[in-house]
Amino acid sequence: MNILASIDNRSPDVQSPFKSPKPISRPSRAEAEQAVTTLIRWAGDDPDREGLIETPARVIRAYEEWFAGYGEDPDELLQRTFEEVAGYDEMVLLRDIRFVSHCEHHMAPIVGRAHVGYLPRNRVVGISKLARIVEVYAKRMQIQERITAEIANTLDRVLRPHGVAVVIEGAHGCMTSRGVHQSRATMVTSRMLGAFRDRPETRQEFLSAINLRGAAESGNLFS
């Protein structure tokens, strides 16, 4: 069973650019910094002491980086394609794409890597664009299942390839640093579309190429 089979690949969740069902009233920068000051006080420290005085401003600058994905349109990234591929019709794979995301339940970091493959139909996209797609979706408040599905669905929708395969391995800060304290646990999610879903040998080629520890042999994650 595909672990993401329940996610509809045309669900409103995966539209882009990011659209909220209701308008978001964005606070001012000063209000955002004030919120950080409140959290410092909530943690039990003095926001006026020297080491913390610049912290709210720094946190908000970090937020601009961590959540830069809200301002980007992933479909647009894939608009430029190359058609002179000399009949190349084998798998294109970019593996070990490192990313940092934040879980939407705790806003704790998710540190992981993504493996993204597709089977082109007449046209290919610049390889760096695959990494950029991962980045755009990672830099939002997320759950790993949705990042995985969004990357696969966007490639499928825009490039119309013969198939798309996305596997993500992630370590979740909300689990490693608190709660159950599973410091070494990683979560694996996958989304296989087209030939990668329908043809076991194509899926196997992808899984062998990414050399995912244990998963390719066990067969229980991807069958």
Which residues are catalytically annotated? 103-106, 144, 172, 174
CA dist., res. 191 & res. 171, Å (int): 18
Please choose, out of 49-57, 105-113, 132-140, 182-190, the segment that lies near Zn ion by the rule CB under 5 A. 105-113
208 SS3 class: helix
133 SS3 class: helix
Output the residue with the shortest Cβ distance to Zn ion. 174
Q: Which of 37, 63, 106, 216 binds Zn ion (CB under 5 A)?
A: 106
138 SS3 class: helix
CA dist., res. 56 & res. 36, Å (int): 5
Please choose, out of 4-12, 55-63, 104-112, 136-144, the segment that lies near Zn ion by the rule CB under 5 A. 104-112
CA dist., res. 136 & res. 134, Å (int): 6
Reported as type and span, the H/E element at residue 192 is: strand 187-194
Minimal distance in Å, beta carbon 118 to Zn ion? 29
CA dist., res. 101 & res. 112, Å (int): 8
Among residues 102 and 129, whose Cβ is nearest to Zn ion? 102
Residue 174 is a binding residue for Zn ion (CB under 5 A): yes
Minimal distance in Å, beta carbon 105 to Zn ion? 4
Residue 103 is a binding residue for Zn ion (CB under 5 A): yes
Please choose, out of 49-57, 96-104, 145-153, 200-208, the segment that lies near Zn ion by the rule CB under 5 A. 96-104
Residue 141 is a binding residue for Zn ion (CB under 5 A): no
The amino acid occupying position 176 is: T
CA dist., res. 112 & res. 212, Å (int): 13
Residue 113 is a binding residue for Zn ion (CB under 5 A): no
Distance separating the N- and C-terminal Cα atoms of the chain: 6
Q: Name the one residue in this structure whose structure tokens are 């720094």.
A: 58
Among residues 129 and 172, whose Cβ is nearest to Zn ion? 172
CA dist., res. 216 & res. 202, Å (int): 12
Residue 105 is a binding residue for Zn ion (CB under 5 A): yes
Minimal distance in Å, beta carbon 143 to Zn ion? 8
Minimal distance in Å, beta carbon 139 to Zn ion? 16
Minimal distance in Å, beta carbon 19 to Zn ion? 23
Interface residue list for Zn ion (CB under 5 A): 103, 105-106, 174
